[in-house]
Amino acid sequence: MLGKPLLAAARDQAADSGGAQEEAAVKSLHTGKTRETTLQGAKLSPADVLILARVIEGEAGGEPFKGKVAVGAVIINRVEDERFPDSIYKVTHQPGAFYAVRKGTIRHPISEDALRAAKEAIKGVDPTGGALYFWNPAKATSSWIHNRHVITRIGNHVFAI
């Protein structure tokens, strides 16, 4: 589960956006009435779902639904891969790993689609076929990322291992 700083951020986000689903998730965290989900042995709280949805919104807000699920799947794939940290928060907050975290767009309101996409990715839906990386070729500047083995393209993103 995620710590107090994320809970505070979730509370702020719910207040700023007025999002009923976000507010309900934060309220359930506050009252202790959470329904945890298991992901390969890791317990996921509503706060985990929210942070995943926020990163999806920040990284793929303008992408088709399948692209949103794909971004969520990359994060889940990293959580399950021993080369990466073992939680959604730790994966998404690795230095430089996600633009949405680095630039603060994870604090923007999330869409219904981003929340649904997060839930789909947590259930194991993976349109990428196991990707660990994604990027928009029109925006990515790192030569390292362009050398990854491409699995598929969805919307404006390339997905790779």
Query: Is 7 a domain residue?
Result: no
Per-residue pLDDT tens digits of the chain, which is 161 residues long: 333 344 444 444 444 444 554 555 444 444 444 344 446 555 688 999 999 999 999 999 999 999 999 999 999 999 999 999 999 999 999 999 999 999 999 999 999 999 999 999 999 999 999 999 999 999 988 888 888 999 999 999 999 99
- Measuring CA to CA, which residue among 56, 81, 54 is closest to residue 155? 56
Query: Is 154 a domain residue?
Result: yes
Query: Is 139 a domain residue?
Result: yes
- What is the C-alpha separation between 69 and 53, in angstroms, rounded? 10
Q: By residue range, what is the domain housing residue 66? A: 48-160
pLDDT value for 44: 80
Query: Is 33 a domain residue?
Result: no
- What pTM did the predictor assign? 0.76
Query: Is 17 a domain residue?
Result: no
- Tens digits of residue pLDDT in 33-70: 434 444 655 568 899 999 999 999 999 999 999 999 99
The CATH number of whichever domain residue 72 belongs to comes to 1.10.10.2520
- Measuring CA to CA, which residue among 147, 118, 117 is closest to residue 133? 147
Query: Is 68 a domain residue?
Result: yes
Query: Is 30 a domain residue?
Result: no
How many domains does the chain divide into? 1
Query: Is 11 a domain residue?
Result: no
**Rg value, the chain, Cα:** 15
